[in-house]
Structure 1
């Protein structure tokens, strides 16, 4: 019996290894269209590979998925983050948990994870073929024929599609022709471009707890915020980009954000604090004494924007300028005009509709013998290891069931 995995990424390797180990009588082959397998694993986490996130109850963990939360909860009940940690550590990959919950290999290099996956695949007898692209899927009786780009044909008893996301819906044509509904893909996990942002000169400065609200929207998030050469990044921005992926796409990435640099201090509290400071320290220069834990350079830039020069003493600072400073600190508006992909990672919202897939086995409800795993599905998580966990869990589910279906009429 032959099982073919289309896609040599995280979910494809997990599925292939699990299937080969669970059903040793089956021949398992991975087909990867590029020259190298696991390319996304290699670049993830800045080249360190954010394997997963700190384990939690499946119901809690699944809340980190803007799309597919209910679907992945079922998967995590069978193979969740704790199982992922055990899977890798038992195969020689020592892992560590960072303060923010992200889990990395102790080696701090993705090569450790790649070697583990490749070596375990080969040990299990998986045939890994690169530079092999599949153009079409053609069911024929109890088999599935794969039409390759060079015109040759491979026949399999069962096929897993683990090709990852694609930026254009046309990239799913070879799947949708079998009546599988596809949700149009749009980018997720991106940073905000703010071309007219006077703070861009402060690239590299960050604050630990900012709140960003989207104007005329219910979207908001809290977390570390980073100023960049092109605008804003950091966990709070990436979280917003994930939850608002479709809304931002509909706006053509043109919208306004409001930033509270303190996290929880409101305008009135900030204004009252500054006025009290003026009364208690009238000779002090406000721009030289950062407040609310805001970095000094950022504070000075906002003070200048509020009309508070470096030489201006608090006693001579008009209330109008203090009011503006309080606004900039707690409700600072910026116009977003575009996005930038987060580092070299590309995550999409959209893909194969979850309604057409069995969440326990990952088998298509429309075409027996065809399975899906990983980002090709309409599931995406926020940054922090959640997308990889989805890949491991879906891959494992396929691997545990794909051989069973061979014996089922």
Structure 2
């Protein structure tokens, strides 16, 4: 039996961040991280396409929380304690410079997630945090004021236990055995599978500013839209997938979306097209892309409006003008399934938020049992927000444990 003051289950972002902060604030504590794999920080490694999207340039807590479909209310207080600016300062103090990109995402200046991994491993070593790899936790039990853990490679005992395993069903099962409620996990960040002639053969085309709604729901989003080999992606779609995670799972990922490609009303658009019919009379509609739409997308929408490549503006009848208006402002697509968004597997689900004290991230059911990161039912849209949840929770846990 290995005895420690603090055991952290999960050698990911939240686990390392908490361990380093505990060790810095109270060097007398003996800390162990238990990682089930042969190396930790794998999610950090693949995040942001291998660049590690550390956080997002949103510095007002009340605005930051709007990016969390689950946990919005609960994270407001914690974000007042440890926020984006604190994350930047934390990394910069340890020699990791961050940069802000045009869309608000923050990355290490090196553009490599290895910079973040090296920072964590060096700091853990410096502060004598022991990391036990290939240690899968098999059982968690409480005996008086001591937590006992059985792992695949031996047993541990500790006064304080932090679970930072992310979306791990085996750990959720162990926590259910301790009386915790688990909100059933469903995928939260995914792209939409769509087979449709209007987007066939034009992967890589981006419409910069669209409005998308899921028909039959209140789900709505706006932003860039990317056409892919299998359907649609980019922020406008990923936002819908996050905020609609449960609703869309209930529909078995079969639903309809309506897209306004130009963010104008039907009437406004029709007026513009009537003007173009007059102004561009002799030109072909197919070759005269409008509304700053990518040419290939415009051409697909024109062909879907009962026109051909030779149709001239002057010859358009009322029906054709209205059909094109419809395609531009109310195009309906059938979604039939989902695909994972790159390696950014995020799950909605986890420990019920009512069972956590968000001033300390301690379990309300068991003293000296703490949680941080995606193991709890908090998740966010893409862009560094899920990491910010991990840093904030881990920092607050560390502060409480080390006192």
TM-score by length of 1: 0.96
Paired with 2:101 and 2:280, the residues of 1 have a C-alpha distance of 42
Structure-2 residue corresponding to 1:256: 256
Structure-2 residue corresponding to 1:54: 57
Structure-2 residue corresponding to 1:94: 97
Unmatched 5+ residue regions in structure 2? none
Choose from 22, 37, 40 the match for 2:25.
22
Structure-2 residue corresponding to 1:305: 304
Structure-1 residue corresponding to 2:172: 172
Query: Aligned-pair RMSD on alpha carbons?
Result: 1.2
Structure-1 residue corresponding to 2:185: 185
Paired with 1:402 and 1:171, the residues of 2 have a C-alpha distance of 21
Paired with 1:90 and 1:26, the residues of 2 have a C-alpha distance of 23
Structure-2 residue corresponding to 1:265: 264
Q: How does 1:221-260 map to 2 (within 5 A)?
A: 221-260=221-260
Q: How does 1:345-364 map to 2 (within 5 A)?
A: 345-364=344-363
Q: What do residues 77-106 of structure 1 show as CA deviations (whole Å, max 9, x unaligned)?
A: 111110000000111001100111111111
Unmatched 5+ residue regions in structure 1? 405-409
Structure-1 residue corresponding to 2:122: 119
Q: 2:165, 2:171 within 8 Å by CA — same for their partners in 1?
A: no
Structure-1 residue corresponding to 2:38: 35
Choose from 12, 15, 26 the match for 2:15.
12
How far apart are residue 353 of structure 1 and its match? Answer: 0.9
Structure-1 residue corresponding to 2:318: 319
Structure-2 residue corresponding to 1:284: 283
SS in 2 for 1:311: coil
SS in 1 for 2:73: helix
SS in 2 for 1:329: helix
How far apart are residue 197 of structure 1 and its match? Answer: 4.9
Q: 2:198, 2:297 within 8 Å by CA — same for their partners in 1?
A: no
Structure-2 residue corresponding to 1:389: 388
Paired with 1:163 and 1:269, the residues of 2 have a C-alpha distance of 51
Q: 2:261, 2:328 within 8 Å by CA — same for their partners in 1?
A: yes
Structure 1 stretches of 4+ moved >2 Å: 195-198
Paired with 2:151 and 2:15, the residues of 1 have a C-alpha distance of 18
Paired with 2:166 and 2:291, the residues of 1 have a C-alpha distance of 43
SS in 1 for 2:141: strand
Paired with 1:197 and 1:24, the residues of 2 have a C-alpha distance of 63
Paired with 1:281 and 1:174, the residues of 2 have a C-alpha distance of 68
Paired with 1:110 and 1:361, the residues of 2 have a C-alpha distance of 29
How far apart are residue 381 of structure 1 and its match? Answer: 0.9
Structure-2 residue corresponding to 1:331: 330
Paired with 1:15 and 1:51, the residues of 2 have a C-alpha distance of 16
Paired with 1:376 and 1:311, the residues of 2 have a C-alpha distance of 57
Paired with 1:23 and 1:277, the residues of 2 have a C-alpha distance of 71
How far apart are residue 171 of structure 1 and its match? Answer: 5.5
Q: 1:227, 1:233 within 8 Å by CA — same for their partners in 2?
A: yes
SS in 1 for 2:185: strand
How far apart are residue 366 of structure 1 and its match? Answer: 0.7
Paired with 1:218 and 1:55, the residues of 2 have a C-alpha distance of 25
How far apart are residue 147 of structure 1 and its match? Answer: 1.2
Paired with 2:98 and 2:402, the residues of 1 have a C-alpha distance of 30
Paired with 1:282 and 1:203, the residues of 2 have a C-alpha distance of 31
Paired with 2:390 and 2:69, the residues of 1 have a C-alpha distance of 16
Paired with 1:349 and 1:177, the residues of 2 have a C-alpha distance of 21
SS in 1 for 2:363: coil
Paired with 2:337 and 2:7, the residues of 1 have a C-alpha distance of 40
SS in 1 for 2:277: helix
Q: How does 1:47-86 map to 2 (within 5 A)?
A: 47-86=50-89
SS in 1 for 2:187: strand
How far apart are residue 311 of structure 1 and its match? Answer: 1.1
SS in 2 for 1:163: coil
